Amino acid sequence: MKKDAQNAQNVEVQNVRDIVYNYETKYPQGFLSTEVEALLKENFPNITLEMFNDKFGINTVMLSPVPSEGTILYHIDVYHAIIQIIQKRGPYMEEWD
């Protein structure tokens, strides 16, 4: 990969990280599913929820203190799923839980 292309990819990765980690969520631990949907619509309109769920796969989540809210998806796993979609790749070994 040429240096300019690598620099552009690094900037893109950092931008995604900033968007995910600075997105306002109800819980500091991560995202409710409704928040993931909003994040994608607002910031990544070309990424569907189906694409996200496919890349998110089976990851560690935590239960919301309010049972009807479902689970909380950790920031790092949301970030990894989005990056994998953008870069059109599967997970790297270090991205697995």
Other beta carbons within 10 angstroms of residue 71's beta carbon come to: 15
Q: Average pLDDT, whole number, for the chain?
A: 89
AA identity, residue 29: Q
CA distance linking residue 41 with residue 20, whole number of Å: 13
More confident residue, 59 or 37: 37
pLDDT tens-digit map of 19-49: 999 999 999 999 999 999 999 999 999 999 9
- Say what the pLDDT of residue 7 is: 55
